[in-house]
C-alpha cells in the first residue's frame, strides 16, 4: 500500500512540476487576478454595494478558471504521454496501468487544486481590498469546489481514454459548464413531460455527473446564507469517492486493454 502511495506521489509530482514550469498556472492566476482588480473600475458608485458583485465575480472567475485548468490538464495528460511516447519508460517500470491512471489523476487534481489555491489567494487579496467580509460558507464553498474539481479531473481523464484530447476537452466543457443547465431544464420540464420522457430524465439525472452540487457560489457570493449542514458535505465526499471510482474504473477497462 505504501509503495503504491509512493508511486502515485512520484507520478503526481512529475505532473505538477511540468505544469508549473510550463507556466500554465501563472497565466491563469494572473489573468484571474487582473479581472478581479479590473472590477475595481466598477466602483464608480463607491465601494458600498460592490461586495456582492465582487464576491459574485470572484466565485465566477474562480469557478470558470479552475474548471478550465481541471479540464485542460486532465484531458491532455494521458494522450500527451502516448503522443510523446513518455508512457513507455513509465510503464516499463513495475507499475500497473491502473497505478499510472491513478497517479496521473492525482497529478491533475494536484495541479488543479494548486491553481485554485493560487487564484483563491489572489482573490482573497482582491476581496479584502473591497472590504468583503468572509463568512463560514466561503470555507465550505472552497472545500466543495475542490471536491468538484477532483471529480472534473476524473471525468476528464476518463474521457481522454476514449476520445482524442480535443474531443475529450470539448465534451468535458459541455458537461462541466452545461450539466447545471441540463439539470435545471429537466427539473423545469419534468412535470409537463410525457411518462417516457420522465423516465429518460430520471435516467440522465442518475448517470450525469452532478458538478452543480459542488458549487456553492450562489450562496457564497450573496449575504447571510448559513453554512450548509455537515451531512451535505459528507454526501458530497461520498458521491465524489463513488462516482470518481466509477470513472476511474471505466477509464481503466479501456486503458488496460489498449495497445500502446
Partner 1 sequence: MSDAILVEDLQVRYRSKKGRWIEAVKGLSFQVAPGEVVGFLGPNGAGKSSTLKALMGFVAPNSGRCEIFGISAGTLAAKSRIGYLPEVAMYYPYLNPVETLMLYGELQGLGGKKLKEETHHLLEVVGLKDAKKKLNKSLSKGMLQRVGIAQSLLGDPDLLILDEVTSGLDPVGRKELRHLLLERKNAGATLFFSSHELSEVDMLCDRILLINQGKMVEERLMAPLKDELRNYSIAFRGQAPLHDLTQDLDAQGEIHRARFQTKDALMQAVARVQAAGGELVDIVSQEGSLEDYFINTIERAA
Partner 2 sequence: MKIWYAPFAAVSLMAAIGWSTDEVTPKVNPPIRRERSDAGDSSLGSQIQTSASGWLWAYTEVYLANGIKMRRMTQKEAAENGFNDGRDHGTTVIPPPAKDFRGIFGDVDRSVNAWNAVQRFKQNDPRQCLPLFRLMTWLDPNFVEAWTNGAMVIAMDRTEKANQMAMEFLREGYKRNPDCVDIPTTFGMLEITRHRDFDKSIGFFQKAVENGQRRFDALSENEKQAFLSAYRWLTLAYRNTGRLKQMNQAIREGLTYFPDDQVMPGTGRPSIVPPASYQPPIGVTTRAL
Q: Is 4 one of the binding residues for partner 1 (CB under 8 A)?
A: no
- Cβ at position 240, least distance to partner 1 in Å: 27
**What residue has cell string 485542460?**
72
Candidate residues 5, 6, 167, 188; the one interacting with partner 1 per rule CB under 8 A = 6
Q: Is 230 one of the binding residues for partner 1 (CB under 8 A)?
A: no
Of 116 and 214, the one with the shorter C-beta distance to partner 2 is 214
Are 82 and 97 in contact, with CB atoms under 8 Å apart?
no
Dihedral Cα 142, 147, 153, 154, nearest 10 deg: 180
- Chosen from partner 1, partner 2, none, partner binding at 82 (C-beta under 5 to 8 Å by type): none
Q: Is 10 one of the binding residues for partner 1 (CB under 8 A)?
A: yes
What character string, x for contact with partner 1 (CB under 8 A) and - otherwise, covers 117-156? ----------------------------------------
- Chosen from partner 2, partner 1, none, partner binding at 92 (C-beta under 5 to 8 Å by type): partner 1
Q: Is 124 one of the binding residues for partner 2 (CB under 8 A)?
A: no
Candidate residues 90, 91, 170, 243; the one interacting with partner 2 per rule CB under 8 A = 170
Q: Is 1 one of the binding residues for partner 1 (CB under 8 A)?
A: no
Q: Which of 60, 84, 211 is nearest to 146 (CA)?
A: 211
Candidate residues 27, 40, 93, 129; the one interacting with partner 1 per rule CB under 8 A = 93
Which span sits near partner 2 by CB under 8 A: 92-100, 113-121, 218-226, 242-250? 218-226
- Cβ at position 19, least distance to partner 1 in Å: 8
**Cell numbers linked to 234:** 459528507
**Residues 139-158 close enough to bind partner 2 by CB under 8 A:** 144
**Number of neighbouring beta carbons within 10 Å of residue 148:** 25
Site residues, partner 1 (CB under 8 A): 3, 6-7, 9-11, 13-14, 17-18, 21-22, 84-86, 88-96, 257, 259-260
Site residues, partner 2 (CB under 8 A): 39, 42-46, 48-54, 56, 144, 162-164, 166-167, 170-171, 174-175, 178, 181-194, 197-198, 200-202, 204-205, 210, 212-216, 218-219, 221-225, 228-229, 232, 235-236
Amino acid at each position: 500500500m505504501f509503495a503504491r502511495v509512493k508511486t502515485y506521489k512520484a507520478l503526481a509530482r512529475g505532473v505538477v512540476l511540468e505544469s508549473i514550469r510550463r507556466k500554465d498556472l501563472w497565466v491563469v492566476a494572473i489573468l484571474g487576478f487582473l479581472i478581479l482588480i479590473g472590477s475595481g473600475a466598477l466602483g464608480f458608485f463607491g465601494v458600498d454595494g460592490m461586495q456582492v458583485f465582487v464576491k459574485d465575480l470572484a466565485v465566477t472567475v474562480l469557478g470558470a478558471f479552475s474548471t478550465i485548468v481541471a479540464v485542460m490538464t486532465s484531458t491532455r495528460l494521458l494522450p500527451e504521454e502516448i503522443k510523446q511516447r513518455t508512457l513507455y519508460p513509465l510503464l516499463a517500470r513495475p507499475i500497473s496501468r491502473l497505478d499510472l491512471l491513478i497517479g496521473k489523476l492525482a497529478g491533475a487534481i494536484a495541479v488543479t487544486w494548486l491553481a485554485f489555491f493560487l487564484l483563491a489567494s489572489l482573490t482573497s487579496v482582491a476581496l479584502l481590498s473591497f472590504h468583503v467580509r468572509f463568512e463560514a460558507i466561503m470555507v465550505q464553498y472552497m472545500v466543495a469546489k475542490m471536491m468538484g474539481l477532483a471529480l472534473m479531473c476524473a471525468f476528464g481523464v476518463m474521457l481522454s481514454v476514449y476520445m482524442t484530447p480535443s474531443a475529450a476537452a470539448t465534451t468535458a466543457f459541455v458537461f462541466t459548464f452545461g450539466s447545471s443547465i441540463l439539470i435545471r431544464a429537466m427539473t423545469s420540464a419534468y412535470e409537463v413531460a410525457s411518462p417516457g420522457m420522465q423516465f429518460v430524465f430520471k435516467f440522465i439525472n442518475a448517470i450525469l455527473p452532478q458538478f452543480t452540487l459542488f458549487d456553492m457560489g450562489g450562496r457564497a457570493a450573496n449575504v447571510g446564507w448559513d453554512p450548509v449542514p455537515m451531512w451535505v458535505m459528507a454526501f458530497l465526499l461520498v458521491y465524489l469517492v463513488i462516482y470518481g471510482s466509477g470513472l476511474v474504473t471505466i477509464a481503466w477497462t479501456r486503458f488496460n486493454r489498449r495497445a500502446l
